[in-house]
């Protein structure tokens, strides 16, 4: 079983390059099968979720050519079935995007119910409500979502709550429905905009992405395109918080600073310096951090995917801070692990009350999910001594070459496969 082993206490200096947005790329890959022409997608992150989805697309007959680790060509004209189900696709949340893509193109989809990280209830009722509004019959049987429609009709859909996944899924199906669809109370996240831009580059007619009202006029068919995925704001934020927790001066490159405004605002509040450039941000930290309050909200609010990283930062800030989680009810599973490292955190309902300590101490911890795992890596970088992070499978679902990128900016971290490699690393850094 692979682990990260970390010797903490090293300030980070230099430059780090951010890859493509996992959450955007997953939806874009699903949408790519909606045309029978060849689609080229660049700036893909080379992470497990992406590779699992590409495998699933290939298994239903689409032609998938990996040009390189970050670029792929997909041709959906060879698809021979609409049943998407294997042990791997059941583990990722983004499997549900294939429902909207297949339903839009073929008016029929059978896709395994989604998995992903256990961070709380994430029902797909809003997805199904949207598909039904357009005329689809939806059933759940044998662990599959089965969607069928004689035809999809454009309609008016009001989202009972803001949902990124449902907004994207309905948008994909509506792109090839008959008539006009209006999605109200739509999610505004950058990857919603990126998927809309991708679909438009294939000939879709989507307007308003990035606002709370999206208008879609269905088209009969989509065509070939070449497209580059936007930078990953969560990967960027994770590195920014790593610098804040450990000290130093790092230029985070290949980002869209506008997408990082909520993260940047909190870094400024806790006492870091942040300089913005056209496609990069510089974070400077002397590790004298101040307390603050954070509430997760849909974009442009503070992202729930940055909440664990924020809590780690506040755990070594002066004074008492609060983190309120308003999106997922089970996102504090990392608190017990962080307590092993000396954190003083009490969770009451959806609020974490954090009393800052002077430092973390190295310990053996488990990554309970993707973002919590990244947060524990940050804690290890800031801790005294050696930290071992188990279950890094979760982290590898969303971060490409995390240990390599951190090493380049001064971290002492390695990925090891057994106790012998672990002890070798400890001896090397001692």
CA nearest neighbour of 379 among 118, 3, 6? 6
pLDDT tens, residue by residue, 276-324? 999 999 999 998 999 999 999 999 999 999 999 999 999 999 999 999 9
pLDDT tens, residue by residue, 3-28? 999 999 999 999 999 999 999 999 99
pLDDT tens, residue by residue, 155-187? 999 999 999 999 999 999 999 999 999 999 999
Categorize the per-residue pLDDT at 120 as very low, low, confident or very high, splitting at 50, 70 and 90. Answer: very low
pLDDT value of position 381:
98
CA nearest neighbour of 95 among 112, 80, 82, 83? 112
pLDDT at 272 over 90: yes
pLDDT value of position 122:
52
The 10 Å CB-count burial string (b at 16+, else e) for 294-306 is: bebebbeebbbbb
Q: Tell me the average pLDDT across 235-254.
A: 98
pLDDT at 117 over 70: no
The whole-angstrom distance between residue 51's C-alpha and the CA centroid of its chain comes to 15
CA nearest neighbour of 233 among 10, 25, 13, 48? 25
pLDDT value of position 124:
87
CA nearest neighbour of 173 among 98, 81, 103, 93? 103
- Percentage of the chain surpassing pLDDT 70? 98
Residue partners of 59: CB distance under 8 A and separation at least 6:
84, 86
Task: Count CB neighbours of 257 within 10 A.
Answer: 18
Q: Tell me the average pLDDT across 235-251.
A: 98
pLDDT value of position 115:
63
Among 11-20, 241-250, 326-335, 403-412, which is the least confidently predicted range?
326-335
| 318: β partners | 290
pLDDT tens, residue by residue, 24-66? 999 999 999 999 999 999 999 999 999 999 999 999 999 999 9
pLDDT tens, residue by residue, 362-378? 999 999 999 999 999 99
- Percentage of the chain surpassing pLDDT 90? 91
pLDDT at 328 over 90: no
- DSSP-assigned states of every residue in 326-388: -S-TTTTTTHHHHHHTT-EEEEETTEEEEE--S--B--EEE--SHHHHHHHHHHHHHSBSEEE
- Annotation marks residue 117 as catalytic: yes
- Compute and round to an integer the Cα radius of gyration of the chain: 22
The whole-angstrom distance between residue 404's C-alpha and the CA centroid of its chain comes to 20
Catalytic annotation, pick one of 52, 74, 117, 262: 117
What average pLDDT does the structure give for the chain? 95
Give the max Cα distance, the chain: 67
> What is the pTM for the complete model shown?
0.95
CA atoms within 13 A on the CB side of 386: 14
pLDDT at 151 over 50: yes
pLDDT at 211 over 70: yes
pLDDT value of position 287:
86
Categorize the per-residue pLDDT at 150 as very low, low, confident or very high, splitting at 50, 70 and 90. Answer: very high
Q: Confirm if 202 and 33 have CB atoms less than 8 A apart.
A: no
To which residue do tokens 């409500």 refer?
A: 129
Q: Tell me the average pLDDT across 245-267.
A: 98
């Amino acid at each position: 079983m692979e682990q990260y082993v970390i010797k903490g206490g090293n300030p980070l200096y230099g430059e780090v390059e951010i890859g493509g947005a996992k959450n955007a790329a997953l939806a874009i890959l699903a949408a790519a099968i909606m045309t029978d022409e060849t689609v080229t997608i660049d700036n893909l992150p080379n992470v497990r979720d992406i590779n699992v989805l590409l495998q699933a697309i290939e298994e239903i007959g689409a032609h998938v050519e990996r040009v390189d680790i970050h670029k792929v060509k997909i041709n959906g004209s060879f698809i021979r079935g609409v049943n998407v189900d294997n042990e791997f696709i059941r583990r990722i949340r983004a499997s549900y995007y294939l429902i909207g893509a297949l339903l839009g193109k073929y008016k029929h989809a059978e896709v395994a119910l989604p998995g992903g990280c256990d961070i709380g209830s994430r029902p797909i009722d809003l997805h199904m409500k949207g598909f039904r509004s357009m005329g689809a019959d939806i059933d759940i049987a044998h662990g599959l979502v089965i969607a069928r429609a004689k035809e999809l009709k454009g309609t008016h859909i009001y989202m009972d709550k803001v949902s990124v996944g449902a907004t994207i899924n309905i948008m994909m199906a509506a792109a090839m429905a008959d008539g006009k669809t209006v999605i109200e109370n739509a999610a505004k996240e950058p990857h919603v905009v990126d998927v809309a831009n991708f679909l438009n580059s294939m000939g879709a007619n989507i307007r308003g992405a990035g606002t709370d009202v999206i208008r879609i006029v269905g088209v009969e068919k989509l065509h070939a395109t070449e497209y580059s995925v936007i930078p990953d704001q969560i990967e960027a934020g994770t590195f920014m918080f790593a610098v804040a927790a450990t000290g130093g001066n790092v230029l985070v490159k290949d980002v869209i600073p506008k997408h990082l405004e909520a993260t940047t605002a909190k870094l400024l509040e806790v006492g870091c310096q942040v300089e913005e450039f056209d496609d990069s941000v510089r974070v400077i930290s002397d590790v004298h951090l101040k307390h603050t309050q954070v509430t997760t909200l849909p974009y442009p609010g503070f992202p729930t995917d940055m909440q664990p990283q924020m809590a780690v930062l506040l755990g070594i800030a002066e004074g008492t801070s609060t983190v309120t989680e308003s999106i997922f009810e089970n996102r504090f599973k990392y608190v017990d692990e962080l307590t092993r490292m000396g954190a003083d955190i009490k969770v009451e309902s959806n609020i974490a009350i954090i009393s800052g300590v002077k430092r973390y101490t190295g310990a053996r911890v488990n990554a309970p999910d993707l973002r919590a795992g990244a947060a524990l890596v940050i804690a290890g970088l800031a801790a005294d001594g050696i930290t071992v992070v188990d279950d890094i499978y979760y982290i590898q679902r969303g971060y490409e070459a995390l240990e390599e990128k951190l090493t380049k900016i001064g971290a002492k971290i390695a990925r090891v496969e057994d106790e012998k490699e672990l002890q070798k690393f400890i001896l090397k850094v001692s």
